[in-house]
Amino acid sequence: MDFESLKLFLAVAEHASFTRAAIELGMTQPTISKRVQQLETKLGSLLLYRHGRGVRLTEAGVRLADVASSVLLQLDSLRDELDAGTHAMGGWVTLGLPPSLGSSLSVPLAQRFKQQFPNAGLRVIEAFSGSLLELLEAGKLDIGVLYDARSAPTMLVSPLFCEDLYLIENAALAGPNGPAEIAELGVGSFVLSHSSNGLRRVIEAAAALSNIQIDVSLELDSLTALKRMVEIGPERCVLPYGAVYREVQEGKLRARPFAGRGLNASLVCATPLHRSVRRLTRELQTLLVEQVKQGIADGMLTATRA
């Protein structure tokens, strides 16, 4: 019995569907079906009842799923212990970042990762929170950084930092340079990301608390497009400083913090509960926290003061 077949069987059992398991694993449905059938032949037991809506576990399948999950977790733990005893860790780890953070963090984080783990590979995916959550739940990310994280039984989350949000405007247009008032969210037109994005929900929640209706003239799920539209004007947007750091330095955009208690958003690190956390993943999370602190110290990121 090979461990890869057990992993495929567990994926089918988790999703109750060969098709959904194939999508998650990036394999064809016939390949997975054939491997599971071979597993059933070796064990001499039917593991799954096939029906029109998918599959469900037989009694033998339930028993195998319990044992296989425990065995594979122990193997992952053993691998981590062996990794800990070697000088260089290998393998790949995948990190998901929101574009507003990735624009300032991806490159320096990747450089530090390669310096510390030259035999390992890092894959960084930038996407909005809604997409990152789907990728995490599908097992395509080892770590995801999310805005406005909602409680989910499939995720383990830990705070990363709370960042200030800024009113972003075309630097060439006439206007004040001082702090912005929350009331300005109700003045003029804005370009924001789609409502499924965590950062958008934070902005709208703050406006609702002050009984403000934001005039959203455009929804763009592209950080580059958002910034470009503001550069053209007259639309404005709300973003963390790290997302516009370079454009502000170049004089293309003006970033004004919100006065008083301001406007801020919390970011968390999320890992899927159904997968064991490898040592390389834990090391990447440590680097991520350190790089955020460095970004704050360098003035590229701004954190809300307690």
pLDDT of 52 strictly over 90: no
The closest alpha carbon to 223, from 188, 250, 253, 180, belongs to 253
* Coil/strand/helix, residue 278: coil
CA dist 238 and 175 (Å) reads: 16
Full-model pTM = 0.67
Which tokens in the block code for residue 225? 């497009």
Phi, psi of 42 (to 5 degrees): -65, -40
CA dist 196 and 117 (Å) reads: 35
CA dist 221 and 198 (Å) reads: 12
Under a CB-based contact definition with an 8 Å cutoff, are residues 288 and 269 in contact? yes
Query: 117-175: per-residue pLDDT in tens?
Result: 998 999 999 988 878 888 887 778 899 998 866 555 567 888 888 889 999 999 988 67
Helices and strands (H and E) in the chain: how many: 10, 11
End-to-end CA distance of the chain: 55
**Beta-strand relationship, 54-57 and 91-97:** unpaired
CA dist 74 and 32 (Å) reads: 24
Query: 217-259: per-residue pLDDT in tens?
Result: 999 988 899 999 999 889 999 999 989 999 999 999 999 999 8
Query: 12-33: per-residue pLDDT in tens?
Result: 888 888 888 887 776 788 888 8
**Mean predicted confidence (pLDDT) in 79-87:** 56
Domains parsed from the chain with CATH numbers: 3-84 (1.10.10.10), 89-306 (3.40.190.290)
Query: 176-221: per-residue pLDDT in tens?
Result: 788 999 999 999 999 998 877 888 888 998 899 999 999 999 999 8
Q: What are the C-alpha distances in Å from 294 to residues 53, 105, 116?
A: 51, 10, 16
Residues in the chain: 306
Q: What are the C-alpha distances in Å from 120 to residues 90, 92, 95, 115, 116?
A: 4, 6, 13, 10, 9
Phi, psi of 92 (to 5 degrees): -115, 150
CA dist 40 and 61 (Å) reads: 9
